[in-house]
Amino acid sequence: MLTVLSNRTYRRLFTAQVIALTGTGLATVALGLLAYDLAGPDAGAVLGTAFAIKMVAYVGIGPLAATLAARLPRKTLLVGLDLVRAAVAACLPWVDQIWQVYLLIFLLQAASAAFTPTFQATIPDVLTEERDYTRALSLSRLAYDLETLLSPLLAAAVLLVVGHDSLFLGTAAGFAASALLVLAAALPTSRGTAVSGRSFAATTRGIRVYLGTPRLRGLLAAHLAVAAAGAMVLVNTVAYVRDLLGRGETAVAVALAAYGLGSLTAALALPRILDRHPDRPVVLRASVSLAVLLFLAAPATAFLGDLRWPALLVLWTALGAAGSLVLTPGGRLLRRSAHRPDLPAVFAADFALSHACWLLCYPLAGRLATTTSTTTALLVLGVIATAATAVAIRLWPAHDPEVVEHEHHGLGTDHDHVHGAVLVDGRHRHAHHFRIDGLHTRWPA
């Protein structure tokens, strides 16, 4: 897996990602402490609102990344967004009102919503071989998982020496370092301006390509299954471990670490798995596993007594692994499904649509556990994951070749695209790598 780091450009981009993620992890800890300073016992409500603002920014701003990527040089855009994030993080230690927290969080996450899909769409241009790109996806997943595990430990060490305000300064420094590394990287130039044109069409192009491609519609349904399971873990672990199991803060960290460890382990194994198996069975079997694990967790939380704690660790580890097996191959599917000029728009669409799934599941998971029980929440989210998996299986064809035979009606015989095509009943018939674009607006039946 580490062989892709021999590529100097990718090595700098990956290092930038790791440093920025570390800064983000520090900010997550600091934000919780800041919320407690400002709101005391109501800190949970403040954090919940901030979390919702984050998701709204991701869903609303994400599709605009394609428009920005079409109008600005890629390096200029990425460096500029990193500097915006650094400036906002540097302002957070000085706030003394809750509304200021909400405003700055929106600005920070809006910049991230534009940065992340643009950054993701850059990697396929740097690593053009499928094998290398697969390993880069696993490394990226590994970076996210290590951030989940290590950032809280780093924050705890820093807090032994300085106050939590300094964590925000560490976040700002991380984004500034990321900007320098991106600036030093030799990024390939854009290969076209497929998303240029009128603003609305440019903004929605990625979503139209995404929703017009059967395998990506299936991927979106699988995203919903991941969100159902992940929301249960991230929203309800604290209350379940502290209130129902009667364990301390350390146990909460251990439970969340188990989830991250499962995801990390799957990310390490994925390159070998994807070398031997196609994406569809890997993603769909993992999606099935998410639903099954949620249903298994429901009786485990209700009837196992003293065994609930070790059962939780095992189930959370398995949920983390299954979620990683769904999410990590997604970049390969996006790369297969769009022309290079369209990749920023399609990555932005995936970013927005997948986070819409989380925006649905986060409040649902919290409300169900609060108003009913953890067991009920697990069962309801298990039903959602099951339905999402069934939809994914239905939408993603088992026979999913890249080269598809299809027909064109209305193109003149002198049109370059139908050169060499066979004329059948007045329609030009040919086969090639099929992707939704201006000449191919619908997937062949």
Are 183 and 269 part of one and the same domain? no
Neighbouring residues of 236: CB distance < 8 A, sequence distance ≥ 6? 365, 366, 369, 374, 377
CB 344, CB 209: distance < 8 Å: no
- Report the CATH number that the domain containing residue 216 is assigned in CATH: 1.20.1250.20
Starting at the edge strand found earlier in the chain, the sheet holding 427-433 runs 403-408, 427-433, 422-424
Q: Is the domain of 118 the same as that of 210?
A: no
Name the phi and psi angles at 373, rounded to 5.
Answer: -160, 165
**Residue where a domain terminates, one of 164, 190, 216:** 190
Looking at the structure, tell me whether residues 280 and 380 fall in a common domain: yes
Residue ending a domain, among 136, 162, 190, is 190
Q: How many structural domains comprise the chain?
A: 3
- Same-domain pairing of 424 and 290: no
254 within a domain of the structure (yes/no): yes
Provide the domain limits for residue 365.
Answer: 204-400
Q: Is residue 313 part of a domain?
A: yes
Examine the domain organization and report whether 49 and 24 are in the same domain: yes
Q: Tell how strand 403-408 and strand 427-433 pair up.
A: antiparallel
Q: Do residue 247 and residue 288 come from a single domain? A: yes
Residue 43: the pLDDT is: 59
Query: Do 39 and 131 have their domain in common?
Result: yes
Identify whether 86 is part of a domain.
Answer: yes
> Do 142 and 113 share a domain, yes or no?
yes
The tokens of 107 are what? Answer: 């600005």
Query: Are residues 9 and 59 both part of a single domain?
Result: yes
pLDDT of residue 47: 63
Residue 253 within a domain:
yes
Closest residue by Cα to residue 63 from 307, 342, 340: 342
In a domain, 195, yes or no: no
Residue 218 pLDDT:
96
Give the other-Cβ count within 10 Å of 281's Cβ. 11
196 falls within a domain: no
Neighbours of 348 (CB within 10 A): 32
Chain centre to alpha carbon of residue 53 = 16
Inside any domain, residue 108: yes
Predicted TM-score (pTM) of this structure: 0.78
Question: Which residues lie closer than 8 Å to 278 by C-beta, 6 or more apart?
Answer: none
Residue 426 burial by CB count (10 A; 0-12/13-18/19+): exposed, middle or buried? exposed
In a domain, 186, yes or no: yes
3-class secondary structure per residue, the chain: CHHHHHCHHHHHHHHHHHHHHHHHHHHHHHHHHHHHHHHHHHHHHHHHHHHHHHHHHHHHHCCHHHHHHHHCCHHHHHHHHHHHHHHHHHHHHHCCCHHHHHHHHHHHHHHHHHHHHHHHHHHHHHCCCHHHHHHHHHHHHHHHHHHHHHHHHHHHHHHCCCCCHHHHHHHHHHHHHHHHHHHHCCCCCCCCCCCCCCHHHHHHHHHHHHHCCHHHHHHHHHHHHHHHHHHHHHHHHHHHHHHHCCCCHHHHHHHHHHHHHHHHHHHHHHHHHHHHCCHHHHHHHHHHHHHHHHHHHHHHHHHCHHHHHHHHHHHHHHHHHHHHHHHCCHHHHHHHCCCHHHHHHHHHHHHHHHHHHHHHHHHHHHHHHHHCCHHHHHHHHHHHHHHHHHHHHHHCCCCCCCEEEEEECCCCCCCHHHCCCEEECCEEEEEEECCCCCCCCCCCC
Question: What is the structure's pLDDT at 199?
Answer: 47
Q: What are the structure tokens assigned to 243, written together?
A: 């209130």
Residues 425 and 298 in one domain: no
Residue 373 and residue 440 in one domain: no
- Where among 190, 224, 254 does a domain terminate? 190
Pairing of strands 422-424, 403-408: unpaired
pLDDT in tens, the chain (445 residues): 567 788 888 889 889 888 888 887 777 667 766 776 777 656 556 666 777 788 888 877 766 766 776 677 888 889 999 999 999 999 988 888 888 888 988 898 888 888 887 887 788 878 878 777 777 777 776 777 666 666 666 766 776 777 777 888 888 999 999 999 999 988 776 544 444 444 455 557 788 899 999 999 999 999 999 999 998 887 778 778 877 888 776 677 678 778 888 888 888 888 888 888 999 999 999 999 999 999 999 898 777 777 888 999 999 999 999 999 998 888 889 888 888 777 777 887 888 888 889 888 888 888 788 788 888 999 999 999 999 999 999 999 998 888 888 888 877 778 888 788 888 877 888 888 888 888 888 888 7
pLDDT for residue 313 = 93
Contacts of 131 (CB under 8 A, 6+ apart): 275
Is 275 found in the same domain as 215? yes
